[in-house]
Amino acid sequence: MFANKTNIIKYLNYQLLNIQNMKKISVLTIAVIMAVNVTNLFAQRTTDIPGGKDYPLVSRFEGSVVEYYKVTKWDNYKLPVFDNNISKPDYKHPLNLEGKIIRIQYSVAPDNNPAYVMKNYEKAFKSKGYKILLEGKPGEDFEEGPASFQGDYYGSQHDLNLEKFGFAYNPIGNHKAIIVAKTHKDNNDVYIVDVISDFSNTTLITQDVIEVEAAETGKVTAASLDKDLSANGHIAIYDIHFDTGKSEIKPGSEDALKNIAAYLNAHTGKQFLIVGHTDNAGDFDANVKLSEDRAVSVKNTLVRNYNVKADQLKTFGAGPVAPVATNATEEGKAKNRRVEIVAL
């Protein structure tokens, strides 16, 4: 199961730090732990792991070393923080982010306590103009802990999934600090989540960066519009972007709108229906209204900015009633959240 002695020690260290949260632990594991006669299991690296690196928009804390690095091309991330600067995490109503997720885990000397590290990140974020969404020092109201805060992407704190998560440690510990910031890259939102905790004989910095973007499901072009509308009578559009729960069109949608407008302006004798679709998450009636609002937003933008005739377009909100994929997976949900152009 383990490639070398270092991996064995890391695994045992993880189990020791989580034993307080576990309902049970195997007799074999206890026996092995007791057999390892060490007083300090964690040995901080002196250099970054192979392939480990900083996220370009975030400078590392001075003296820290990359212990873990993983990039997930596209996934879901539940972030219990909103843009209205709430004072506490809202675990019951998280913000569902989707896109590329980069997890970097650093270790640094323990005299850099979590509160001190957090304040350094705060200063760096503010100096770059990033928006601070949440920050909490040790002793404040974060009892649910980083494992809950970081959502499904982290996995269960009661299990070490070596194949999926490698040796990223669960940042439990007696003192934790959290800071969440937001910035932009290539017209997309970027969220930065730093959880800092004391960990054995070191301070652990777990940094998640979420580059929000839609799943790559195909770009709309004039050719695809003509082909799909002629053959099928409708086409699904995935590159008109909205924030979760909102109907305002985000930057980065211009190419799709421009191509749609070019097609509509070349077929002024025809009428089309703009239909908004959602996945099944949340309240049904709210999803129907959201899908209608998004359809109206697309119509208004095409009329106002691209000279499309208003009487050429009608709008409709279908909510979650016409899925094109299963809502049991995040990839399926992404395909169900779409705008469709339907020929009348």
Percent of the chain with pLDDT over 70: 72
Of 116 and 2, which is predicted with more confidence? 116
Whether the per-residue pLDDT at 88 is higher than 70: the answer is no
Residue type, 183: T
Looking from the CA of 342 toward its CB, the CA atoms found within 13 Å total 15
| pLDDT, tens digit, 9 for 90 and up, residues 157-201 | 333 333 343 456 777 677 888 888 999 887 678 999 898 988 888
Q: Which domains does the chain have, with CATH numbers?
A: 42-212 (no CATH), 222-343 (3.30.1330.60)
Backbone φ and ψ for 226, nearest 5 degrees, come out as: -65, -45
Of 24 and 280, which is predicted with more confidence? 280
H/E run at residue 8: helix 5-18
**Given this model, what pLDDT does residue 159 score?**
35
Distances (CA, A) of 225 to 217, 219, 248, 263: 15, 10, 23, 7
| pLDDT, tens digit, 9 for 90 and up, residues 281-320 | 999 999 999 999 999 999 999 999 999 999 999 999 999 9
Give residue 343's pLDDT band: very low, low, confident or very high (50, 70, 90).
very high
**Given this model, what pLDDT does residue 158 score?**
32
Whether the per-residue pLDDT at 245 is higher than 50: the answer is yes
